[in-house]
Structure 1
Amino acid sequence: AYGTVLHGLYIPIILMLLGFMLRGVSFEFHELSERKAFWGAMFGFGSLLAAVAQGFALGGLLNGVKVVDGVYVGDVWDWLSPFSLIVVLGVVAGYSMLGSTYLIIKTQDDIQAGCYQRGQLLAWIMLAVGAVVTVWTPLQYPQIFARWLTTPNIYFFAVLPALAVLSFVMLLRALKRQDEVAPFAWTMMIFLFSFAGLAATWYPYIVPGSVTIDEAASDTSTLVFMLIGIGMLIPVMITYNVYQYIVFRGKIDPDAEHAY
């Protein structure tokens, strides 16, 4: 499935990788160079480029990938459409929302106040894009429309959007009350319920409308080998991330050494 989809998403994937590389280079040069403002801007541009590219890739995937007999038959620019532009806006707003709510936890005073203010605007953008995707998907795919609105499926599929909307309401409430940890937690819940809704909508397809999970799966021995390898890495990754959050816990001190 990855190889099939990649033929239609070469451009956004390459742009995403370039954005990641620019982030890494900018981060290192920011520390060593005297032109910190320039490299700070380059870090921001790399972050934006990566988010925009991911939005185009996701939008192109959700809008449909032209696959016939397991072979991509679409155009190199099929990922670029009005729908993918809307998804880009949602992805950028979503990542910005995660960043703003995390900065609320880590900062104080003017920076924190600005994050509270921007967070409300970003939350409304996320809701608007989510509504567009929710309406667009069943209109684009009649089988999804029938699956959503038939009884008793409608009762099950209504749960995840309802939980996402509830999380949105609680997010706005937390921002208004200027809570510090709750906005980040509710933003994570919005992401969780949104992607769970996409997965439930498209199941059993891994490439929307074209390739199912069973069709894309490798043979049993390969899957077992990968499971063992990844299973050994997951505890290491979790431990590393927990450790770095412990090391960098607490508020950022702008007067501390190496703070910019």
Structure 2
Amino acid sequence: LGALVQGLEASNRLYTGGPFDWFSPFPIMCGFALIIGYALLGSTWLIIKTEHKLQVWARKVSGWMLMALVAAMIAVTVSMFFSDIDALEGWFSFPGLLYLAPMPLIVVLLFFLMRKDLNTEREYRPFLLTVALFLMGYIGVCFAIFPYIVPYQMTIYEAAAADTSLSFMLIGAVIMLPIILSYTAFAYYTFKGKSDHNPMY
């Protein structure tokens, strides 16, 4: 993700960078931030799926991960300003600036709500707030690299397939999407309910 935001080297629609172009400070920092975000997502999911001592532990871990994510997001944002990244142009130029202006306030609000919820009996909202934090991050990334599909080299319009190919893919999506949603719903139904710290024999 960090390497994509940073930009890829390409020429004549071919990748011309090296195998370790991702191995630089900004992509590595993004990688650690993403790991922390996934840990927060997992720990808030455990709040929903557990009770008693295990849920108390999950709430405690969620609090740690939330603070770590705050630090990671600040570090990534500050790092962008000191890196040669074209994504900043998408953030600080019109009309992107107008659309993204409320996002820092929304993110701060989400953090405060989540911090409060972790000290209450709420179970579902911490997970949903974490999903909302991820959504804010992905909206920022989309604004940063739009309209590129290969950042700063190839736009989505240049990379788009022919209309006939896209139509064929649409038919496949219409058929497969309900199937995927059905077995996903079945899996959630099968594993519904809560677990606690007591082993089952």
The normalised TM-score by structure 1 is 0.70
Alignment of 1:241 onto 2:156: no
RCO higher in structure (CA 8 A, sep ≥6):
2
Alignment of 1:131 onto 2:74: yes
Pick the structure with more helix per residue.
Answer: 1
Alignment of 1:168 onto 2:126: no
Shift of 1:138: 5.4
Quote the residue 2:145 is aligned against. 202
Shift of 1:152: 5.3
DSSP 3-state at the match of 1:176 = coil
Which runs of 5 or more structure 1 residues have no equivalent in the other structure?
A: 1-57
Whole-angstrom CA distance in 2 between matches of 1:142 and 1:244: 41
Q: Does the 8 Å contact 2:5/2:144 carry over to 1?
A: no
Whole-angstrom CA distance in 1 between matches of 2:47 and 2:96: 39
Alignment of 1:224 onto 2:167: yes
Q: Does the 8 Å contact 2:33/2:73 carry over to 1?
A: yes
Which runs of 5 or more structure 2 residues have no equivalent in the other structure?
A: none
Q: Does the 8 Å contact 2:5/2:87 carry over to 1?
A: no
Shift of 1:146: 4.0
Whole-angstrom CA distance in 2 between matches of 1:241 and 1:142: 38
Quote the residue 2:64 is aligned against. 121
Whole-angstrom CA distance in 2 between matches of 1:168 and 1:69: 44
- 1:116 maps to a residue whose letter is R
Whole-angstrom CA distance in 2 between matches of 1:138 and 1:224: 41
Q: C-alpha deviations, 1:20-62, integer Å up to 9, x for none? A: xxxxxxxxxxxxxxxxxxxxxxxxxxxxxxxxxxxxxx22222
Whole-angstrom CA distance in 2 between matches of 1:81 and 1:169: 32
Q: Does the 8 Å contact 2:43/2:59 carry over to 1?
A: yes
Q: Which runs of 4+ in 1 moved over 6 A?
A: none
Provide closer, same or farther for how the CA distance between residues 97 and 143 of structure 1 changes in structure 2, counting only shifts above 3 A: closer
Q: Does the 8 Å contact 1:102/1:184 carry over to 2?
A: yes
The normalised TM-score by structure 2 is 0.88
Shift of 1:153: 3.9
Whole-angstrom CA distance in 2 between matches of 1:124 and 1:188: 16
Between 136-145 and 156-165, the greater mean CA deviation after superposition: 136-145
Whole-angstrom CA distance in 2 between matches of 1:233 and 1:174: 37
